[in-house]
């Protein structure tokens, strides 16, 4: 896909030169886009981006056994061909939980005492709006005169199974010849203050489902049975007693946490036939999916006995080592906030795990303190400052050469 495609050139009749990021954030929040619903979010975003000059394209996907998901790819090219900077995010949000627990309507997008309330304010409609505003200002100031392209890659199922969003979008676009040179994901990365932290990688996530087999029997005659619960307890100790590793250059030590232990035995005088446990590991770049599973099986085998282990993989660990992109982002953050962000790999997974296969990727967004919580909210000043940071990033990116 060429940067000179007529329908995606910034010089094509730009009708509007500005997007108010706060107003747009309110419009997006007022669309109750709980996964897998879109609820008009992508329409609202398209209505803001199209007058600026973005060519907006819906990209729906529906893997077998899943709900159809609408995604949006919006692209704007400058007057000369060049590098492609993409902003990635997700328009879907998690459920509100108990609505009566909210002090405001979670989809009214009210502003109270300088804070914008609503589901998705932090995670991550506020950041999408901030980038849209930044891109509009950047293009207007230059009258579309820059070398390259800017795009928004907006998925609709990041909070769900993540099978019909960013991953298939990237594969489809790559098959068409689209190339990405750098990407910023607008996930909420800051713990307490805007500017504290950017993410240059993420740990992998691996869930194990363990079933330990035994022999049912009378609890008064244990020698005639084989209690799987006792063996399961020893297996859990084997899994957690010794750390998986001591951390690496960019990652904290890998962790393994047991989430459930189940026997399902209502009788106090019966030794059960099976005992089950589930556990999740957030692992660093010491492991691959294969070597992590091998280590788990080695520890289980050290206890012995009959067991079954199945696994679900949610993502591998990755890191974009500190370099030109992280320096560019850090400089923009410091210029606006006065803070130099820590380059971190903490937290859960994000769609950056898909993007890292196509180009260098970094994450920087709003504060995450209230994401997924009742009364999710962000400061209006943070949205505006974030938009200023994103604009500086675009200015620097299209002014400098990133090797």
pLDDT tens for the 403 residues of the chain, in order: 334 333 344 444 344 568 999 999 999 999 999 999 999 999 999 999 999 999 999 999 999 999 999 999 999 999 999 999 999 999 999 999 999 999 999 999 999 999 999 999 999 999 999 999 999 999 999 998 999 999 999 999 999 889 999 999 999 999 999 999 999 999 999 999 999 999 999 999 999 999 999 999 999 999 999 999 999 999 999 999 999 999 999 999 999 999 999 999 999 999 999 999 999 999 999 999 999 999 999 999 999 999 999 999 888 899 999 999 999 999 999 999 999 999 999 988 899 999 999 999 999 999 999 999 999 999 999 999 999 999 999 999 999 765 4
Alpha carbon distance 366, 56 (integer Å): 25
Q: Is the dihedral of CA 111, 116, 117, 119 positive or negative?
A: positive
Alpha carbon distance 281, 300 (integer Å): 15
Alpha carbon distance 160, 164 (integer Å): 9
Instruction: Tell me which residue of 166, 127, 151 sits closest to 56, measured CA to CA.
Output: 151
Q: What pLDDT was estimated at residue 10?
A: 45
Residue 210 near residue 275, CB atoms below 8 Å: no
Q: What pLDDT was estimated at residue 193?
A: 97
Q: Is it true that the peptide bond before 198 is cis, omega within 30 degrees of 0?
A: no
Alpha carbon distance 256, 243 (integer Å): 9
Instruction: Tell me which residue of 392, 380, 397, 399 sits closest to 137, measured CA to CA.
Output: 392
**pTM for the complete prediction?**
0.88
Residue 393 near residue 215, CB atoms below 8 Å: no
**Number of helical H runs and strand E runs in the chain:** 9, 19
Q: How buried is 1 (Cβ within 10 angstroms: 0-12 exposed, 13-18 middle, 19+ buried)?
A: middle
Q: Which residue has the tokens 């061909």?
A: 81
Domains observed in the chain: 6-202+317-399 (3.40.630.10), 204-315 (3.30.70.360)
Q: What pLDDT was estimated at residue 315?
A: 82
Q: What pLDDT was estimated at residue 12?
A: 43
**Around Cβ 13, how many Cβ atoms within 10 Å?**
7
Tokens at 39, concatenated? 């609820």
Helical packing angle, 126-142 and 380-399, nearest 10°: 40
Task: Identify the three-state secondary structure at position 289.
Answer: helix
Strand order in the sheet with 80-90: 55-58, 72-77, 147-155, 80-90, 182-185, 361-363, 197-199, 342-344
Query: How do beta strands 201-202 and 318-319 pair?
Result: antiparallel
Tokens at 88, concatenated? 């990635």
Q: What pLDDT was estimated at residue 316?
A: 87
Q: What pLDDT was estimated at residue 9?
A: 47
Residue 88 near residue 186, CB atoms below 8 Å: yes
- Known catalytic residues? 92, 158
Q: How buried is 349 (Cβ within 10 angstroms: 0-12 exposed, 13-18 middle, 19+ buried)?
A: middle
Q: How buried is 286 (Cβ within 10 angstroms: 0-12 exposed, 13-18 middle, 19+ buried)?
A: middle
Residue 116 near residue 29, CB atoms below 8 Å: yes
Alpha carbon distance 46, 195 (integer Å): 29
Q: Which residue has the tokens 């896909």?
A: 1
Alpha carbon distance 31, 42 (integer Å): 9
Residue 221 near residue 339, CB atoms below 8 Å: no
Residue 366 near residue 124, CB atoms below 8 Å: yes
Residue 377 near residue 115, CB atoms below 8 Å: yes
Alpha carbon distance 182, 400 (integer Å): 13
Alpha carbon distance 17, 19 (integer Å): 7
């Amino acid at each position: 896909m060429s940067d000179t495609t007529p329908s995606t050139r910034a010089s094509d009749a730009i009708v509007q030169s500005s997007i108010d990021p706060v107003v747009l954030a309110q419009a997006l929040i007022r669309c109750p886009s709980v996964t897998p619903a879109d609820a008009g979010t992508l329409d609202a975003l398209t209505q803001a981006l199209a007058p600026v000059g973005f060519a907006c394209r819906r990209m729906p996907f529906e893997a077998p056994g899943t709900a159809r998901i609408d995604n949006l790819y919006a692209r704007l090219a400058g007057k000369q061909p060049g590098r492609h900077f993409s902003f990635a995010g997700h328009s879907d949000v998690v459920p509100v939980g108990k609505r009566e627990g909210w002090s405001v309507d979670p989809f009214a997008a009210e502003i109270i005492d300088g804070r914008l309330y609503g589901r998705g304010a932090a995670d991550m409609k506020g950041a999408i709006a901030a980038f849209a505003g930044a891109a509009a200002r950047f293009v207007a100031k230059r009258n579309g005169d820059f070398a390259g392209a800017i795009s928004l890659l907006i998925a609709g199922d990041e909070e769900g199974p993540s099978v019909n969003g960013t991953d298939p979008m990237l594969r489809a676009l790559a098959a068409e010849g689209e190339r990405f040179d750098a990407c910023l994901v607008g996930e909420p990365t800051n713990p307490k203050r805007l500017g504290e932290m950017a993410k240059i990688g993420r740990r992998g996530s691996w869930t194990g489902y363990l079933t330990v087999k035994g022999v049912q029997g009378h609890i008064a005659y244990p020698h005639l049975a084989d209690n799987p619960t006792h063996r399961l307890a020893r297996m859990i100790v084997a899994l957690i007693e010794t750390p998986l590793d001591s951390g690496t250059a960019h990652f904290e030590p890998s962790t393994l946490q047991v989430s459930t232990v189940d026997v399902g035995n209502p009788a106090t005088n019966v030794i059960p036939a099976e005992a089950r446990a589930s556990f999740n590991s957030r692992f660093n770049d010491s492991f691959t999916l294969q070597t992590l599973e091998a280590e788990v099986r080695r520890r289980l085998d050290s206890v012995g006995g009959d067991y079954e282990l199945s696994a679900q993989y949610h993502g591998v660990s990755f890191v974009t080592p500190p370099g030109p992109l992280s320096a560019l982002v850090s400089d923009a953050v410091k210029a606006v906030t006065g803070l130099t962000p820590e380059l971190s790999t903490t937290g859960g997974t994000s769609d950056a795990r898909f993007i890292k296969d196509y180009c260098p990727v970094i994450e920087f967004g709003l504060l995450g303190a209230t994401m997924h919580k009742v009364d999710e909210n962000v400061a209006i000043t943070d949205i505006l400052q974030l938009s200023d940071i994103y604009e500086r990033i675009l200015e620097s990116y299209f002014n400098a050469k990133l090797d």
